[in-house]
Amino acid sequence: MTNYFYFSTPVSSLMELRKQYRMLAMKNHPDKGGSEEAMATVNNEYEELKKNLGRHEADQPKESQYQRSEEEEQEIDEKLRAIIMDLIHLPIEIEIIGEWIWIDDELAKPFTDELIRLGFRLSKKQGRWYWSPTPYKKRRGSLSMEKKRKKFGSTTVKGREPKTLN
């Protein structure tokens, strides 16, 4: 185990190491009143720790950047259920792919205001309205509906047909 002169606080992630490095660089940089020798030592220690931390992180199982806590999963589940309960009275077909809700634009035209109120967005490329529990991020190379169904699974829920009076 190597003892470090400047990096005395243990770090467990690259982000923590970078944060600590920035603080040490501000303190020891020659333009900020430190010496060139101290800054060179900080840089050398940083490089060695970064290399060792990289090896350690490579040995650890990767966690998905999309991994959520149990509370977050429960909150998303509740939002999904609430949206479906708001839509179920409409005479439309609701498709759930992963945690996204999709509705065909042609069938939904009479209910556009309702969909907007519920937080749906129109995908002109897919020709469908969609709702997602996570904030919208434009991504390159979006998947076709068939590929989305294969990748995430799909469930279709039919809304109630309007009752007719005889």
pLDDT, tens only, 130-149 = 998 877 666 666 788 888 88
pTM for the structure as a whole: 0.54
**Average pLDDT over every residue of 2-8:** 66
Q: Give pLDDT tens digits for 83-104.
A: 888 888 888 888 988 888 999 9
pLDDT band at 115 (very low <50, low <70, confident <90, very high): very high
When the pLDDT of each residue in the chain is averaged and rounded to a whole number, the result is 80
The pLDDT of residue 166 is: 55
Q: Give pLDDT tens digits for 64-81.
A: 555 778 888 888 888 888
Asked if residues 107 and 92 have their Cβ atoms less than 8 Å apart, the reply is: yes
Extents of the domains making up the chain: 14-59, 70-136+143-158
123 bridge partner residues: 128
d(CA 17, CA 13) in angstroms, rounded, equals 6
- Distances from the Cα of 109 to the Cαs of 12, 50, 113, in angstroms? 52, 55, 9
Percentage of the chain beyond pLDDT 70 is: 81
CB 24: neighbour CB atoms within 10 A? 20
- Of 6-15, 21-30, 42-51, 105-114, minimum mean pLDDT range: 6-15
- Distances from the Cα of 49 to the Cαs of 3, 36, 94, in angstroms? 11, 20, 51
Collapsed DSSP state (helix, strand, coil) of residue 84: helix
Check pLDDT > 80 for residue 28: yes
